[in-house]
Structure 1
Amino acid sequence: MNLALSAAGAVVRTAGALTPELGAAVALPFFARIARARPVGAGAQDTMWAARRSTVRIPGLTRRGVDVVVYEWGVGDDVVVLAHGWDGRASQFAVLVRDLVAEGYRVVAFDAPAHGDTVARGSYLIDWLDILEAIQRRFGRLHSVVGHSFGGLATLVAAADGLTVDRVVTVAAPADADLLLRQFQAMLRFDDRTAAALRARFAEHYFPGERDPFARLSPVRRPLPRGVRMLALHDEGDRVVPFGELSRIAGANPAAEVIETRGLGHNRILESDMFLDAVLKFVADPMPAPVAVPAQAEAAAQI
């Protein structure tokens, strides 16, 4: 644990010893905070410079508005959106961007608030959902969305919420938002009473009026809609998101294609041949034709 996390944990534990609610109030801002933006890797710089840059406006955590930086490459009719994870940035997909553009796709990526080139003081899952919705409004129906880690979770939630997309790819994705809260508790080492209070405060703060927002944020409890194809990848040695999350996601989506990798970890998988080949094949496979429903059967179903 680094010094910043150690200090944050000490503050939360001290506050939680007074009351769990006070501990939760202190912990919540840390939960949404990114320490510093990940730098653009040397191998990604040319790709990022070649992008057409624009912004989409979303409410952000403060609900005062954040201009999210969006990157676009290619001119194809089929739009593939790339959603990075927590503490990530669009440039992590640079190799995939180049491959997709070479195959004729229009590729769109973004830096979430407090990530990459998007300036903000914090971020959380609702920002990813708002960004994907804004991109949908700009480009219409999406051919595919590829989400890494936290971005994979957001992609699954967005699709369950009604994002119009034909194909979804998740890479090292958590199966629900509860995992993130449990990992946060483990990092800061606060007790279960504070954790329960934090869960309640999180729901009230980010999803006011929703009776059980954690049900909404669980791809296990809300699988993909019928007709959306899915490819899920995860490395068995992932030290950030447990490998077991893959089986939970696949169990909720029995038709999903599943690929298990070895020796690639949480981030290096994004530049691996196995990942790149699998994604290119998956997005190129034609969607199955819709099954025609006989008029008599359709009429009977409406009775």
Structure 2
Amino acid sequence: MNLALTAAGASVRAAAALSPRWGAAVAMPLFGYVAKPRPVHADDEPTMLRARPRTVRVPGVDRRGVDVDTYEWGDGPRTVVLSHGWNGRASQFSMLVRELVAEGYRVVSFDAPAHGASGGRRTYLVDWLGVFAALQERHGAFEAMVGHSFGGLATLVGVAGGVDAARVVTIAAPADADLLLSQFQGMLGYPDAVATSMRELFARRYFPGEADPFAWLSSVRRPLPAGVPLLVAHDHGDRVVPFGEAGRIIAANHGSRLLATQGLGHNRILTDDAVLDAVLGHVRSPLDVAAPAEVEELGEAPAAA
């Protein structure tokens, strides 16, 4: 654990000793804080240089308005939107971008607020939803949406909430926001009483007026609309988002397909050839054929305990 995280946890626990609400008040600003953006990898620079940069403006978590950098490749009539995860950026999809453009798609991605080239230091899922809405207004219905990690959860929530996408792919995605709050509690080490206050404060801060925001921040409690095919790719050894999250998403979305990998972890799965082929196959798949639930294993699955 780094020193900054240790100090943050100590501050939250000290406030919690006085009151769970005080502990939650100290923890809340840390929950939406994003570390310094990762640089663009050298292998991804050529793809990013070929992008057509634009911006969209979204309300932002503070509802003050924030500009988000977007990127477009290709000029086909069918639009595929790629959504990165927490501490990610659009450039992570460079290999998939090249594959999709070669197939004739228009590809659109973005750096969420506080990520990549976009400004700010704080964000949450509402910003991803705001970007989806702005891109939908610009491009119309999406042929497909592909989301990695937190961006995968945002994609599931967005399409369940009305974003018009014909197909969905998630890669290493959590099933709901509860996991994220639980992981945050584990990192800072605050007690359950603070966790309860955090959930209440989280709901008031990000989703005012919502009786139970966790009901719709969940692919389990609010699955995709019928007829939207879903591919879920996840690695057995993912140390960021547990593999079990994939099973929860699959169980809630009838007819979805699970692509289980081994040895790719949380990020390398984005550049694996077999995974890229599966994503392309899903994006090209016909919509009028109801596919049965399917599990495909890539590599050797771990032995049962």
TM class, shorter-chain normalised? over 0.9
Q: CA deviation at 1:121?
A: 2.1
Cα distance in 2, alignment partners of residues 4 and 62 from structure 1: 24
Q: Which amino acid aligns with 1:37?
A: P
Shift of 1:289: 6.9
- Count of matched residue pairs: 290
Report how far residue 4 of structure 1 moved: 1.1
Following superposition, the deviation at residue 59 of structure 1 comes to 0.8
Written as runs of structure 1 = structure 2, the 5 A alignment for 1:68-217 is: 68-217=68-217
Match of residue 248 from structure 1: 248
Letter in 2 for 1:17: A
Q: Secondary structure at the match of 2:190?
A: coil
SS in 1 for 2:76: coil
Secondary structure at the counterpart of residue 82 of structure 2: strand
3-state SS of paired residue (1:165):
coil
2:232 alignment partner, SS class: strand
2:235 aligned partner: 235
5+ unaligned residues in a row in structure 2: which ranges?
Answer: 291-305
Q: Deviations over 1:21-50 (max 9, x none)?
A: 011011011000011001101100010111
CA contact (8 A) 2:35 2:121 kept: no
> TM-score, normalised on structure 1?
0.94
Structure 1 residue runs of 5 or longer lacking an equivalent are 291-303
Tell me the distance in 2 between the aligned counterparts of 1:22 and 1:263: 42
**What TM-score, normalized by structure 2, do the two folds share?**
0.94
Structure 2 letter corresponding to 1:77: P
Q: How big is each residue's C-alpha offset from its partner over 1:222-277, in whole Å with a ceiling of 9 and x where there is no partner?
A: 01001211100100000000000000000001210111000000000000012100
Q: Which 4+ residue blocks in structure 1 deviate beyond 4 angstroms?
A: none
Structure 2 residue aligned with 1:50: 50
Shift of 1:91: 0.4
**Structural mapping, 1:260-275, within 5 Å:** 260-275=260-275
Deviation at 1:158, TM superposition (A): 0.3
AA aligned opposite 2:227: G
For residue 162 of structure 1, what is the amino acid of its counterpart?
G
- Mapped partners of 1:42, 1:269: distance in 2: 18
User: Between Structure 1 and Structure 2, whose CA radius of gyration is higher?
Assistant: 1
Alpha-carbon distance between aligned partners in 2 of 1:121 and 1:44, rounded to the nearest angstrom: 24
RMSD: 0.9
The separation in 2 between residues aligned to 1:126 and 1:39, in whole angstroms, is 24
Which residue is equivalent to 1:298?
none
* Inter-partner Cα distance in structure 2 for 1:268 and 1:121: 26
